[in-house]
Chain A
């Protein structure tokens, strides 16, 4: 399944670093999502983009900054993160906001 790809797959960064996560979908979908998956916690929706417009921001700290330059690409820019931000970050896409979401493999982020 290569419908949704994410890079990098693993990332280790210090608290003062700036890095970006990239997501690309090859499915022609109109909605894209960022989720945070931590151990023993439900999947946390972070951001939703529909037709390249941000339609949802779930009270995410400003050290996470999303960008959607076109309908196929989604970025998550990271700066001055905290150790508790260590998690698996998942990108997903769907045809519209009611339908099945297709997930990427995730980026395993470790903040030292």
Chain B
């Protein structure tokens, strides 16, 4: 069965530190890839997405992610985090299946940035 794995459940960083959150998926075909973010008290929202083209995609608030097809990975990065980046981050993969498509979410990574 298809799955999405996020390697870190909790990450604690100081402001200005660099961030990389891992995401791997298990599906051999063409996929659409997403990172969503849920700030405290707010709803889930899109951070960035990859459908095709340049495998390095840029999103809001200085985030970027790189799709590496050979590694089935879509890691999220930010060179210098801010306190306001404290949130939960979800990787998601949209895959084709019988009868349509399905989006599978990872378990999420809680990021806490110390001021």
Contact = CB atoms under 8 A, between A and B. Distances in A.
A66 interface: no
Contacts of A43: 90, 105, 108
A50 interface: yes
A97 B106 contact: no
Q: Which of the listed residues B32, B44, B46, B106 has the most CB atoms from chain A within 10 Å of its own CB?
A: B44
Main SS at interface, chain B:
strand
Given A42-B106, A42-B108, A103 B44 contact: yes
B43 A1 contact: yes
Main SS at interface, chain A:
loop
Nearest to B32: A98
B43 A105 contact: yes
Interface residues of B, number: 20
B40 interface: no
A98 B106 CA distance: 17
Interface string A96-112: 01111111111000000
Interface in B57-104: 90, 94, 99-103
A43 B42 CA distance: 16
Contacts of B13: none
Contacts of A100: 34, 46, 49
A7 to B, nearest CB: 14
Interface in A36-74: 41-43, 45, 48, 50, 55-56
Interface of A: 1, 4, 41-43, 45, 48, 50, 55-56, 90, 92, 97-106
Interface of B: 32, 34, 36, 42-46, 49, 90, 94, 99-103, 105-108
